[in-house]
Amino acid sequence: MMNARMTNNGRARHWRQGLVALALIGAAGVGFAQQPPAPPGPMGPGAGSAARQQMTPEQWRERMQQRHEAEVKRLEGLLHLRPEQRAAWEEFVAAWDKHREQFFSYRWDQEDQRTVTALGRLQQREEMLSAHLEAVRGLREAVQKFYIQLDDAQRDVFDREFMRTHRDKGPRHEPPKPR
């Protein structure tokens, strides 16, 4: 009889220990799952897409304008423009501003009027692409006029720095050398 009772107590003890272990694991899991969300990042020029979702269209335009102004100043500093190139630079910057305004104004005008049908979305996409293509063509003409004013060193800088994609904005690294 003693052996039977010890066996039952041993089973109960193991069962209780298992139950306690599961409860601890469950409590730890709930603790991890209920961590407060990270505070939103900065809303400045370097903010990411999460910040975009928290902004009004006016805030987004302001942010994009700040980024553009910083990019214009950065590029101007890198080019070391001569006085005779200033007029071409100003004309180029005006065209670049117009390009941005055309592109962003179309996007914001359409954002509040999203069509729910597939054909409506395709029509909007076609209109957006046409507007963007028109803006790019106008910018290309301005870049051509400005580009011929640059010397070879300035062209190298302009080719490398103008309209970089988000992938290009990190630190510059040399490509790996072939073995």
Residues 27-68 pLDDT 10s: 666 555 555 544 444 444 455 566 667 888 788 888 888 999
Taking the C-alpha atoms of residue 87 and residue 146, their distance in angstroms, rounded to an integer, is 9
Q: Where are the alpha helices (DSSP H) in the chain?
A: 2-33, 49-53, 57-79, 86-111, 118-147, 152-161
Residues 121-152 pLDDT 10s: 888 888 888 888 888 898 999 999 999 999 99
Closest CA to 82 of 151, 157, 162: 151
How many CB atoms are located within 10 Å of the residue 172 CB? 7
Closest CA to 57 of 98, 99, 130, 107: 107
> What was the pLDDT predicted at 72?
94
The model's pTM: 0.57
Dig out the tokens for 20 from the structure.
């306690």
Q: Where are the domains of the chain?
A: 50-163
